[in-house]
């Protein structure tokens, strides 16, 4: 929905996020707002075209209305048109399936409060994950997962997540867990190889939550200039079941099969090749390098997340 005036902010809404039921409410809010446009998109191509058009007009505040995949798409669309540091702010209105990044950033739950924060709130910088796989490069903000985490996304990538909601991840786990795969993994942190046993899963996190509220990286802080790396080593079936129980029940990083690291750069090679996702979006199974870009992105959010990642139930 383009306007004749020069908007101060553009809300880029995923038409299908969260089942698409929030679009009429977004339209009503924008209709009453000053100098705000709404761009409702159905595909990544449409989102990129919207961002490019408004960037050309001089707009520097963009709002992602959707889930973590919508934020991921908008982030990369913005990176394609100009330097992230020239943004006034990226705002987030969490109306998607998972809304995991919003949990770590303590964003408002109600739609009007979330829109007020995203469109008019102060910007504070957060770290960005630079992901390189072969010739491909993407940016991520939340969590990247490989092994059975990445494979779950591969399994459910064709399912209608907007209709299934969090059950998509439960169904994916049910299909994957009976045939867990061991990966002979070379994990290199800040240029130093780390000796590991065969792994089942790897999480590289900028924030704390993934898969609709699962606490995959309890200590992750999106403002500390470091990536949290959590690995799950292969073990007996009962021990692995214990890891999964702790994942669902709280802090699983204390389990004997789990290792936790922090680094500025992470390189992973695995045999067989390990599938990875970024912010829930399936990537590839090539060797991958993750590099943190400290405080690269201004995000409209409460300031109290500075210094220590804070989270609350949404």
Per-residue pLDDT at 305: 55
All structural domains of the chain, each given as residue ranges with its CATH number in brackets, are: 9-121 (3.40.50.10330), 133-294 (2.60.200.40)
Residue 9 in tokens: 């902010």
Per-residue pLDDT tens, the chain, 314 aa: give them: 444 467 899 999 988 876 778 888 999 999 999 899 999 999 889 999 999 999 999 999 999 999 999 999 999 999 999 899 899 999 999 998 789 999 999 999 899 999 999 999 999 999 999 999 988 999 999 999 998 754 444 444 444 444 444 444 444 554 555 567 889 999 999 999 987 779 988 999 999 998 778 888 999 999 999 999 999 888 776 677 677 667 766 678 888 889 999 999 999 999 999 989 999 888 889 999 999 999 999 999 988 654 444 444 44
Quick one: CA torsion of 136, 168, 100, 267, rounded to 10 degrees? -30
User: In the sheet that 227-233 helps form, which strands lie side by side, from edge to edge?
Assistant: 258-263, 227-233, 199-205, 143-147, 276-278, 281-282
Q: For residues 6 and 240, what is the distance between their CA atoms, to the nearest angstrom? A: 55
pLDDT value of position 250 = 67
Looking at the chain, which runs of residues are DSSP E strands?
9-14, 36-41, 61-66, 89-94, 123-133, 136-140, 143-147, 184-189, 192-194, 199-205, 209-210, 214-215, 227-233, 258-263, 265-271, 276-278, 281-282, 288-300
* Strand 281-282 relative to strand 36-41, pairing: unpaired
Contact present, 64 and 99 (Cβ < 8 Å): no
Give residue 224's pLDDT: 96
DSSP reduced 3-state for 259: strand
Cα angle 249, 254, 258; round to 5 = 100
Residue 86: closest CA among 65, 63, 58: 58
Which DSSP category does 195 fall into?
Answer: -
User: Got the DSSP string for 74-122?
Assistant: HHHHHHHHS-GGG-SEEEEEE-SS--HHHHHTT--SSHHHHHHHHHHSP
Which pLDDT does position 148 carry in this prediction?
73
pTM of the predicted model as reported, rounded to 2 decimal places:
0.86
Please give the pLDDT value at position 73.
93
């Amino acid at each position: 929905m383009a306007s004749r005036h020069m908007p101060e902010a553009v809300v880029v809404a995923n038409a299908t996020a969260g089942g698409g039921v929030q679009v009429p409410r977004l339209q009503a809010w924008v209709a009453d707002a000053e100098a705000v446009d709404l761009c409702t998109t159905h595909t990544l191509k449409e989102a990129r075209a919207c961002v490019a058009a408004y960037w050309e007009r001089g707009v520097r505040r963009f709002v992602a209305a959707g889930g973590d995949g919508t934020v991921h798409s908008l982030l990369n669309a913005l990176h394609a048109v100009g330097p992230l540091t020239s943004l006034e702010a990226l705002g987030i209105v969490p109306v998607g399936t998972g809304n995991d990044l919003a949990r770590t950033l303590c964003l408002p739950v109600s739609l009007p409060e979330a829109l007020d924060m995203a469109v008019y709130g102060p910007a504070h910088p957060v770290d960005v994950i630079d992901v390189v796989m072969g010739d491909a490069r993407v940016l991520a903000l939340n969590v990247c997962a490989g092994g059975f985490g990445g494979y779950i996304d591969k399994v459910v990538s064709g399912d209608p997540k907007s209709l299934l909601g969090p059950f998509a991840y439960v169904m994916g786990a049910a299909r994957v867990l009976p045939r867990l795969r061991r990966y002979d993994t070379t994990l290199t942190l800040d240029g130093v190889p780390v000796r590991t046993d065969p792994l089942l899963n790897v999480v590289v996190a900028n924030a704390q939550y993934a898969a609709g509220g699962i606490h995959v990286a309890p200590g992750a802080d999106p403002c500390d200039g470091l990536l949290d790396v959590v690995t799950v080593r292969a073990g007996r079936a009962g021990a692995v079941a214990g890891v999964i129980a702790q994942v669902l029940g709280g802090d699983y990083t204390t389990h004997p099969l789990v290792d936790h690291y922090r680094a500025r750069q992470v390189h992973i090679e695995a045999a067989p090749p390990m599938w990875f996702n970024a912010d829930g979006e399936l990537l590839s199974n090539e060797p991958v390098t993750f590099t943190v870009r400290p405080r690269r992105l201004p995000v409209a959010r409460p300031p109290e997340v500075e210094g220590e990642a804070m989270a609350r139930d949404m």
